[in-house]
Amino acid sequence: MRLPQEIIRDKRDGRALTEADIAGFIEGLTRDAVTEGQAAAFAMAVFFRGLSRDERVALTRAMTHSGTVLAWDLSGPVLDKHSTGGVGDTVSLPLAAMVAACGGYVPMISGRGLGHTGGTLDKLASIPGYDVAPGLDRFRRVTAAVGCAIIGQTADLAPADRRLYAIRDVTGTVESLDLITASILSKKLAAGLQGLVMDVKAGSGAFMASRAEARSLAESIVTVANAAGLRTGALITDMDAPLASSAGNAVEVAYAVDYLTGRAREPRFHAVTLALAAEMLVIGGLAATRVEAEERLTTALDSGAACAVFARMVAALGGPADFVEAADRYLPRAPVVRPVTSQASGVVERIETRAVGLAVIGLGGGRTRPQDAIDPRVGFTDLARPCDRLAKDDPIGMVHAADEAAAARAEAALRQAYRIGGEAPAACEPVMERLG
C-alpha cells in the first residue's frame, strides 16, 4: 500500500485514485494503520473533489469486504429496501413481512435515528424483549425460518463503514454524495443481497430537500450498485409531510400493526409501501410486472399472511409471541396524551416536516448525542395531512409526552410546523419518480 498521506494528497489535488489505492487505504483504516486524522482528511478531500464512478465502485467494494460478507442458500431471492430517512417513515416493518409472505427473504440491516429522522431500530426496541443486535448465527436462522429479520449493523459487517461514518459525523462530511453511496451500499452488499430497492426521499422532511438532489443520489446509488453486481432500482418519494400520521417510536410500531391487521391503511403510506415492495418482487423475479406484484402483495396483506410473518419475526427475535394481538398491552404508553388544537380555521397549506421530527426529539424520542437514551413512549399521533380542513380548536394531532412541560413545548413546536391558510396545496404524488 502506498503511504496514506500520498493517497490523500492525490485526491486533494483532484487526481483519480486507483482501485489498489482505495483498497489499501480502507484496509489500513480497518486494522488501525490509518489514523483518524488521515481518515478525516481523506473524507474531506472526497467531499470537495468527488469520486468518479469507478472510484465509487472501488470504495464500495473495499468497505464491503472489510468484514464478513454473508452468503445465503435459500429457496427464494434475498432482497432489501433502504430509505434515506424521513418522519413517520415506518415502512420497513410491514414491507419486510409483505415481501417475505410473497416468497422473498429480507435480511434487513437498519439504523438508529439520524438527525431529525426516526430510526427503524429505535422503533423495534420499543417492543419488549426484541433483540435488535443478535449475532450473525441468529440473524441467519431467523431469516431462513421466518423469511425476514430486521436488526442493527453488527461488528462483523462492513466495519470500515462504521469507523469512517463516525469520523464523517464529527468532521462535516456526512453530506458527501460519494461517501453516502459507499456507506449505504457496503452494508447492503455485505448482507449478501441479490436485489435492492432504494427509497430516496425529497421534501421538507428529507436530507435531500430538492427533487434534483434526491435524483442525483438515487442515480449514484443505482449506478454504483449495479456496477458492483447488485441489481438495484430506486423510487423518489415525497417527504413534504410525515409519511404516516404517527411520528415517534412505540406509536409508529402501533401504526405498523394497525396497517398489517387492516385496522387502518392510510392511502399515502399504503401507496409508498406497496410501490417499494412491488419493485422488490419484480427485481427478485417473484413477479413479472408491477401490477402482478401489487396484486400478490395485496393478497398477502388482506389474507393476514404478512401480519403472521411479522408476528413470527417479533417472536423469533425475542419479542412476545402474542405481540400483534396485544400490542396495546405491550407497547409503552406516555403518561400525558392530549390534543394539539389549531388556533385558526382553514386548510393545511404546508407542513415543515423537519420541524415535526425535531419536536419528537425534543420530547425525548430521538438523540441529540449518540449516548442519549430514547424514550420510546413519546411522539405524535393523528397528525393532520396537507389539504385537511380544520376549524378553530380542531386537533392538529395528539401529543404523547413524559410530562406536562414537555407536552407544552411539543404543542408549541407542532403548531409552528403547520401553516393553516385559505388555499389547498397542489396535489403531490407520493411516488414521484422511478429509476433503474
Quote the CA–CA distance of 225 and 182 in Å, as a whole number: 9
Quote the CA–CA distance of 410 and 338 in Å, as a whole number: 11
- Of 11, 61, 82, 112, the active-site residue reads 82
Indicate if 168 belongs to the active site: yes
What kind and span of H or E run contains 5?
A: helix 4-12
What kind and span of H or E run contains 226?
A: helix 211-227
Contact between residue 247 and residue 122 where contact means Cβ atoms under 8 Å apart: no
Q: Which residue has the cell 380555521?
A: 345
- Of 60, 84, 173, 183, the active-site residue reads 183
Indicate if 188 belongs to the active site: yes
- Of 11, 65, 81, 354, the active-site residue reads 81
- Of 64, 83, 110, 232, the active-site residue reads 83
- Of 65, 140, 162, 187, the active-site residue reads 187
Indicate if 81 belongs to the active site: yes
Indicate if 183 belongs to the active site: yes
- Of 120, 173, 186, 353, the active-site residue reads 120
Residue from 59, 37, 45 nearest 9 by CA: 45
- Of 61, 188, 354, 377, the active-site residue reads 188
Contact between residue 100 and residue 144 where contact means Cβ atoms under 8 Å apart: no
- Of 80, 131, 178, 240, the active-site residue reads 80
* Cα separation values, 38 from 5, 31, 164, 171, 328, Å: 7, 14, 11, 12, 50
Indicate if 80 belongs to the active site: yes
With residues binned 3-state (H G I as helix, E B as strand, rest as coil), the percentages for the chain, rounded to 5, are: 45, 15, 40
Give the ranges where 284-395 is alpha helix by DSSP (H): 290-302, 305-316, 327-330, 353-360
Side chain identity at 68, as an amino acid letter? T
Indicate if 141 belongs to the active site: no
Dihedral angle sign, alpha carbons of residues 204, 205, 209, 212: negative
Indicate if 83 belongs to the active site: yes
- Of 11, 140, 163, 168, the active-site residue reads 168
Dihedral angle sign, alpha carbons of residues 53, 54, 55, 57: positive
Give every strand in the sheet of 418-421, ordered side by side: 389-390, 346-351, 418-421
Active site members: 80-83, 120, 168, 183, 187-188
